[in-house]
Structure 1
Amino acid sequence: MIAAGIGLFWNGAMLKPVKNIGNFLTDVSLRFADLPGLIHGDRIYRWGELNARVDALAHALRALGVKKGDRILIHSSNNVQLFESCWATFKLGAIWVPTNVRITESEVAYLASASKASVVIYDDGYAGHANSCCQAADTVRHVIAIGEPQEHEHSYAALLAQHIEKGCFEAVDVDYEDPLWFFFTSGTTGLPKAGVLSHGQMAFVITNHLADLLPGIDQHSRSLVVAPLSHGAGIHAIANTARGAASVLPRSARLDCVEAWQLVQQHGVDNMFTVPTIVKRLTEDPAVDQFDHSSLKYVIYAGAPMYREDQKYALRKLGKVLVQYYGLGEVTGNITVLPPHMHQLDDGAEDARIGTCGYARTGMEIAILDEDGGRCGAGITGEICVRGPAVCMGYDSNPEANEKAFRYGWFHTGDLGHLDEQGFLYITGRQSDMYISGGSNVYPREIEEALLTHTAVSEVAVFGVPDEKWGESGVAVVVCKNGSRTDAAALNRHLNGKVARYKYPARYYFWDSMPKSGYGKIVKKDLRRMVQDDATA
């Protein structure tokens, strides 16, 4: 082995030793041992205690034979065990495989099999999910129950108690591309794929989050967790941990707006990460006016662009604290940022950027590519592509997906959009969302934005369905505001002059609520299936 710049060569492969991300927790525990690290109800876990518990779990997993590169699947709601499991996994040099706690037994079984999980950790009430993992994946060697264990399972609490006296756990040495997290896609266009996140990549992501999204937070900051730690909120929690900022977990498994605003007031919360649909719920709930939220500095939303009417309402309630970013799991959320000062109520304000999701994150590059891989000029719609240190190492054991996603030296997001002359990105929609009606491309977001300006409309989703005459025609699913009613004719009159007539939805469905994924997103493939099932019933 010989030194070569910052890397080392071993059997022809270049190795780049980097910091094990698990040591972010170790570092914080040394500096701020007695300060809160995680707050869940009345229970306060201080950084020193959290690190000791994580080290005990790491010792326990090593005693069970877990080694570098092994995959640890955890199926859990937001709790201290879910938080601890990632740090123990990272310190071991193993790979964290968190799931969405709302998925079915068959879905979690697929993730266990696809990830080749060797350990399954599951929350109280999900024994059936754990059993399904064991049946589907012959790689599973150990099952750890956060609640009461079944026969032949380990107790999470007992493992910690048995190993807590072993003291510090020395994190395993890692290289830049050593994986630490399988970030499974939501599967909106097929089976979920595991984006491989690495130690070196995550170090860049944490730095980028702190620079572009959360400048100035410190050990006195508090972050409210209102989304699953298994995905984007987990990355946000890791960034907060790097600064010693405590994460605050609500007691409720599902969003309780009264509790959320009460926690903001009680703990002086200055930042939170969520998605536009949850921002909408939080700001439209009467509780927003019942508690003091003046401590908030950053209400970060991602996962989908926020409709302009919802954005204005949130600004009126919260002030200029909104931060938007655009990113996918495969790019660890790091594509664009739209900071607070560019969120303006007045569409005509000098620095208002209406409809954009922002500009490229520090260290990242965006291009709009045509079907042949050529760059599109300003204002020309094409596929949004990105490259830079935040892009994942690829999809685990999926060469076909990698070949498709990494063409022409860029990561292909599958989203459509354009850049303006100043490099601000505007998203038109998913490639899979666009439909062709009578030979013309229709982009649903334009129609949705127009419909949301109607006084009766609270939520709307527009998508294409097969049509014998036009090839595809538009369908709109509409949720009205409380106490309001409207109909298809009124909404089409409202669209007059706002969008071309051929873009009007051919059918409207008026529902009491909009089904969403476990991450609070509207999944159009599910709505399309529901509408088509209804039409053929």
Structure 2
Amino acid sequence: MDISTLLDQAARKWPDAPALSDPGRGRRLTFLQLDQALTAFGQALERSGVGEGERVALLADAGIDYLIADYGCMASGRVRVPLDPALSPAELLAQLRDAGVALLLFSAQYADVAAGLAGEGIRCRALEALTEAPGTQLPARVAQPAQALASLNYTGGTTGVPKAVMHRHDSLCAVLQNIVMARGAVPGDVLLNVRPLWPIAAVAVLAHLLGGGQVVLGGRFDSKAFLGQLAQWRVAYSSLVPTQLLRLLRESGTAAAQLPYFKSLDIGAAALTGEVLEGAFSLFDGRTAVLYGMTEAPWSCYLPAAQMAALRHAGESAEGVVGRPLFATAMRIHSPDANGIGEILLAGPHVMAGYWQQPGLTGEVMVSGWLRSGDLGRLRADGQLEVLGRCKDIIRSGGKSVQPGEVEQALLSHGAVREAHVFGLADVEWGEEVCAVVVLEAGQVATADALAQHCRGLLSRYKVPRKVWFIDELPRSHYGKVQKKRLLELLGPVAG
């Protein structure tokens, strides 16, 4: 199967049903109009001298034109290369050169950035010039080979050598199947998108379309407007990253919102704290779901809202629980310890083909058909996966292993602690020493000694933090992960 065929099938099933809506720009496309726009976009690439198999980079906001280009590249046999607009020009240039792009398409707000990249030899064109209304003569699109490269997704942070995940048509189709089966959306259901569409979010949006749903592009996330958008457009599904969700909770509180049409909010499992999960469950009246995956293997596990609610009604916090492997996913725990904890390995048709032009790195993470996730986890007795942190974050202190998540949970059980982040710092005697950064609840007071004493009642002595710092807010990425480099900069010489 390939992306072009799936889009063609959707247009035949629901030709006159609304597919994409962009209220901010007053635009709307039916499924047939979207399909025609994709074909016309492929023709525009042909006229621009971009051949099949060549890479087309996208530097644009989350609008209809972006999706026409994103899906149009894949449907016409080109390779999409979505870019993070937050990167510096130098970082963008490194990725563009690494991918060997034939063309960079940009929207108006990135015109200055594109001009600078053009000065470095990158061929650039305004996105809108290739997404004009299609003409009357539109040939049928041909199906693409299942093994053909469809997407390069740059990942792994903003520094160092660029690293692009390769997805072929068949792996993306397996991802789409996982999402469609997991969400259970029906034709007519509305999905509100307020997330950037790179590197893989556009694929989740596509899955909703392939189930006959309508996608409303709500622009940039606005914590003051989000609940109103859900009500106004009778939204059934939406998705937020943890940082967005935290802002929403601070703006709206946790009283249950009146959303009669809403079915579920999807939240990525990474960096989802118990406090945020608790607030989301309350605000959305139990209609929250958790997904687990990574760019290399998107949508590998899913905990639907009903199962999340069942866990919480049974008295569990559900923190770290991400559900069972989805239809196309195989999973196992590598070298589990006495508690069943080990590295999560993933396999299946949805897993990447490898890293672009980096066979050595591919060989390090792809072993005998299994993807080394780098995540620590265990399988519960009920078959659900519990994610416990990153393997590289394990602290080796005095010859023993300390899992930061376990120490963080001990700190969070103290009534004065709102957030905690535990990490290791080099130490001559111990190899690494356990350190913690704590954010206190408003109006609460605690000392490092008091928190250490609290942890001694819950943890083995070697796991108790030897150093504790107090700060007002943890520095987090867009996806909610604590940024250790920024954190150490905040702590200054005392953490050196």
- Settle same-fold status: TM greater than 0.5: yes
**Partner Cα distance (2:337, 2:432) in 1:** 29
**Partner Cα distance (1:318, 1:123) in 2:** 34
Q: Report SS of the residue matched to 1:301.
A: strand
CA shift digits 1:475-510 (9 cap, x unpaired): 333334455554434433443423334323333333
Contact 1:475 1:508 in 2 (8 A): yes
**Partner Cα distance (2:495, 2:41) in 1:** 53
Question: Quick check: 1:250 aligned with 2:250?
Answer: no
**Partner Cα distance (2:454, 2:233) in 1:** 44
Partner AA of 1:349 in structure 2: A
Partner AA of 2:77 in structure 1: G
Q: How far 1:122 sits from its partner (Å)?
A: 1.8
**Partner Cα distance (1:220, 1:110) in 2:** 42
Note closer, same or farther for the CA distance 1:531–1:466 as it changes in structure 2 (3 Å cut): farther
From 142, 155, 175, give the equivalent of 1:185.
155
Which runs of no fewer than 5 residues in structure 2 stay unpaired?
Answer: none
Contact 2:474 2:487 in 1 (8 A): no
From 283, 289, 311, give the equivalent of 1:317.
283
**Partner Cα distance (1:346, 1:361) in 2:** 19
Contact 1:33 1:46 in 2 (8 A): no
From 307, 315, 333, give the equivalent of 1:368.
333
**Partner Cα distance (2:99, 2:62) in 1:** 21
Contact 2:377 2:386 in 1 (8 A): yes
Question: Quick check: 1:477 aligned with 2:437?
Answer: yes
How do 1:411-450 residues align onto structure 2 when only pairs under 5 Å count? 411-450=371-410
**Partner Cα distance (1:417, 1:190) in 2:** 28
Question: Quick check: 1:240 aligned with 2:205?
Answer: no
Partner AA of 1:320 in structure 2: G
Partner AA of 1:157 in structure 2: E
Contact 1:356 1:424 in 2 (8 A): yes
How do 1:106-505 residues align onto structure 2 when only pairs under 5 Å count? 106-131=90-115, 133-134=117-118, 140=122, 142-145=123-126, 156-161=127-132, 164-168=134-138, 170-187=140-157, 191-212=161-182, 214-215=183-184, 217-251=185-219, 253=220, 255-286=221-252, 289=255, 292-304=258-270, 306-334=272-300, 336-344=301-309, 349=314, 355-370=320-335, 376=336, 379-482=339-442, 484=444, 486-505=446-465
Question: Quick check: 1:530 aligned with 2:477?
Answer: no
Q: How far 1:196 sits from its partner (Å)?
A: 0.9
**Partner Cα distance (1:269, 1:355) in 2:** 27
Question: Quick check: 1:71 aligned with 2:37?
Answer: no
CA shift digits 1:227-270 (9 cap, x unpaired): 2111342221011111232222334x3x3212111100101111
CA shift digits 1:2-37 (9 cap, x unpaired): xxxxxxxxxxxxxxxx33x13444443442435252
Count how many residue pairs are aligned between Structure 1 and Structure 2: 494
CA shift digits 1:63-96 (9 cap, x unpaired): 0111211111112232222222111101221111
**Partner Cα distance (1:361, 1:202) in 2:** 14
Contact 2:39 2:76 in 1 (8 A): no
Note closer, same or farther for the CA distance 1:514–1:96 as it changes in structure 2 (3 Å cut): same
Partner AA of 2:128 in structure 1: A
Partner of 1:11: none
Q: How far 1:351 sits from its partner (Å)?
A: 9.0
Q: How far 1:56 sits from its partner (Å)?
A: 3.0
Contact 1:233 1:273 in 2 (8 A): no
Partner AA of 1:304 in structure 2: A
Partner of 1:37: 20
CA shift digits 1:413-458 (9 cap, x unpaired): 1112222344322222112111112222111112223333444444
Partner of 1:152: none
CA shift digits 1:377-417 (9 cap, x unpaired): 88422221111111111111111011111113311111122
**Partner Cα distance (1:91, 1:204) in 2:** 16
Question: Quick check: 1:28 aligned with 2:32?
Answer: no
- Of 173-182 and 482-491, more deviation after overlay is shown by 482-491
Contact 1:188 1:525 in 2 (8 A): no
Partner AA of 2:193 in structure 1: V
Contact 1:379 1:420 in 2 (8 A): no
Q: How far 1:287 sits from its partner (Å)?
A: 6.3
Q: Report SS of the residue matched to 1:343.
A: helix
Contact 2:65 2:128 in 1 (8 A): no
Q: How far 1:45 sits from its partner (Å)?
A: 1.2
Q: Report SS of the residue matched to 2:393.
A: coil
Q: How far 1:116 sits from its partner (Å)?
A: 1.1
Contact 1:323 1:337 in 2 (8 A): yes
Partner AA of 2:314 in structure 1: A
Q: How far 1:112 sits from its partner (Å)?
A: 0.5
Q: What percentage of aligned pairs have identical amino acids?
A: 26
Q: How far 1:226 sits from its partner (Å)?
A: 3.0
Which runs of no fewer than 5 residues in structure 1 stay unpaired?
Answer: 1-17, 146-155, 371-375
Partner AA of 1:28 in structure 2: A
Q: Report SS of the residue matched to 2:205.
A: helix
Partner AA of 1:326 in structure 2: Y
- Of 28-37 and 292-301, more deviation after overlay is shown by 28-37
**Partner Cα distance (2:256, 2:423) in 1:** 38
Q: Report SS of the residue matched to 1:165.
A: coil
Q: How far 1:206 sits from its partner (Å)?
A: 1.1
CA shift digits 1:155-188 (9 cap, x unpaired): x334444x73254353343222111111222338
Partner of 2:473: 513
Aligned alpha-carbon RMSD (Å): 2.9
Partner of 1:90: 74
Partner of 1:80: 64
Partner AA of 1:84 in structure 2: I
- Of 414-423 and 324-333, more deviation after overlay is shown by 414-423
Partner AA of 1:393 in structure 2: A
- Tell me the TM-score normalized by structure 1: 0.83
**Partner Cα distance (1:192, 1:449) in 2:** 35
**Partner Cα distance (1:299, 1:58) in 2:** 34
Contact 1:196 1:393 in 2 (8 A): yes
- Tell me the TM-score normalized by structure 2: 0.90
Note closer, same or farther for the CA distance 1:29–1:104 as it changes in structure 2 (3 Å cut): same
Contact 1:26 1:51 in 2 (8 A): yes
Q: How far 1:189 sits from its partner (Å)?
A: 9.0
Q: Report SS of the residue matched to 1:258.
A: coil
